[in-house]
Amino acid sequence: MTGPGSEWLDDEAGPIVRSYALTRGRARPATAEGFDMITIVSTAGQPRSGSPGIGPEHVDILEMCLNPLTVAEISARMRLPLVVVRVLLGDLLHHRLITAHRPQQESALSKERLLREVLHGLQAL
């Protein structure tokens, strides 16, 4: 590669430089949402063409999350570290292109119901 800055983008740099290049150096999402690994992300809109700050990776996530996916699954499918995926998701949330459903902190009653449902589901495997 040639051009300014390319000395940082040789093979030795590995995938990490690319990861942070995708986030333009940011290590935290632009929004307050922390994106737990099992927070479920659903696509809620499509970017207008030429939306500033929306790149191909953002578009990939939007296509992927037409069927809701967890943050961990997005990271695995994109082959990108969680920290990077969280930044990209923060951008999308900021643009209101996704909705994020955090894992619920269950009340005592519903936790018991949840555990019973999980137990029955496992027994039925």
Partner 1 sequence: MVSKPSENEGSAQAAPVAVKILVAGGFGVGKTTLVGAVSEIRPLQTEELLTDRGVGVDDTEGVEQKTTTTVAMDFGRITIRDGLILYLFGTPGQDRFWFMWDELSYGALGAVVLADTRRLADCFPAVDYFENRGLPFLIAVNCFDDGYDYRPGEIREALDLSDTTPVVLCDVRDRASGKDVLTTLVKHLLAVHEAETQAGASAL
Which residues ranging from 33 to 92 are in contact with partner 1 (CB under 8 A)?
A: 36-40, 42, 44-45, 68, 70, 72-73, 75-77, 81-84
Distances (CA, A) of 10 to 5, 14, 15, 85: 10, 8, 10, 23
| Residue 50: HSE in the Cβ half-sphere, 13 Å Cα cutoff | 0
From candidates 17, 24, 53, 63, binder to partner 1 by CB under 8 A: 17
Q: Does 113 bind partner 1 (CB under 8 A)?
A: no
From candidates 4, 14, 50, 56, binder to partner 1 by CB under 8 A: 14
What is the C-alpha separation between 41 and 102, in angstroms, rounded?
9
Nearest to 87 by CA among 18, 41, 29, 17: 29
Nearest to 54 by CA among 93, 92, 99: 92
Stretch that binds partner 1, among 31-39, 51-59, 87-95 (CB under 8 A): 31-39
Compare residues 53 and 106 and give the one whose CB is closer to partner 1. 106
Structure token pair of residue 88 = 């990209």
Q: Does 114 bind partner 1 (CB under 8 A)?
A: yes
Quote the least distance from Cβ 40 to partner 1, whole Å: 5
What is the C-alpha separation between 55 and 122, in angstroms, rounded?
40
Site residues for partner 1 per CB under 8 A: 8, 11-17, 19-20, 27, 36-40, 42, 44-45, 68, 70, 72-73, 75-77, 81-84, 99, 101, 103-105, 108, 111-112, 114-123, 125
